[in-house]
Structure 1
């Protein structure tokens, strides 16, 4: 595991365990339901794009996506704790004893390993173990320096594409190519969002070129997925959603070139325009 400094005190509430209070405060601060429940639905829609689900609403996919994101979100924060103590000292994890959070991270590994094995069998469990090991290795050995910021962000964001695969139905996907496209779209969404949202990352060398390439791929990939849909209402709706997404992406890129940060809800627009595409694919993928 990663070693963390043992400094700080847990916030206390009368009559309650300070550790439990810290964990609840952390969840409210860094994993609010208003943001991460919709994100679980977003990832579940992508996971169902390849078909094989029992129905259009596969709650297992959403639940597994939610717990997997929670695990890796906590890992990100544990790895960044030293930096957050300097830059965001008010955050719960930055000012609290890390032991309960490390214990929670370990418990989430066990929980998610069991859920992944139940969902997809030994092969999926192997992918989960490999993903966890690679991320832990990256957190321990990641290079320092601003020149690595853009590359490092993309390494960490690749986990979302893996989550799509892990949350997909266990049955062999009838449309594996569609599932792969959906996973790639998810990765690109997070990559675009990160550059639009993080000013330091947006200023990194190569950020504008990376953003242009990622937005172009996000605008063009739906054409490949559209070819897998039968002609009809779903196909027409998908085409309209793809055109709308391309228009929004172009507007966001112009805003980036004008050095106007996509603050507030604007940085989340990439998810808003991609979700209809993933949802239509998930419906089209259900037998």
Structure 2
């Protein structure tokens, strides 16, 4: 239950190169039926088997609870192995990406709910752990468009504490061991809450960074488009024939130079008009 799919994405089978790791070209060639996916499917099948063993004979038979503990332990161990194999040999498939986290949460959720039904584990503990796991899963989908929230060391420690505490509750322990399992579960609950809050912080930061990057990319695209339009307009103006404007000017030279006809009016014309104005003034004075 680290939150990061261990198994993983499909194609034809690929043989590991020397040194135990695949080359880059083989990353997308992992077969669906690889060992990591098979272990994930085994873990999924162990979930109903674990529940049946735990509730067999009323749910309080120490022998049957020991069998249930064995199924639970195998399921938790396969979680460690399929993750290691998937990372080492690049056994990445779409099925593994979906099935691995489902298998992790299914086995732990089944154990917690079953123990609460039997009255061995308080319901509030089950509620806190399950709510945290579902909330973090939804949060991963919330930010998956921007980035992937990596599994932290605290998350891995939380998974180990949860598995150990739940396994101790599955066993019919008494005395000091029964007291010890309670405190181990309290440690698991604290780690569950603390790592959950840390995942929330990471999700908010990653989403803000992703939105800022998208806005910056959009602004850059807009600036590039504007610059391209300006360059295209400049190219169009520069490509116009140089003689086009000269031809228009040569065709109508008077259009390029102001007409001077009004400036050549004889000066006497103004004298005649002036005399007419004086005559009118005298006539008005005689009246």
Question: If the length of structure 2 is used for normalisation, what is the TM-score?
Answer: 0.34
Q: Which has the larger radius of gyration?
A: 2
- TM (normalized to structure 1)? 0.34
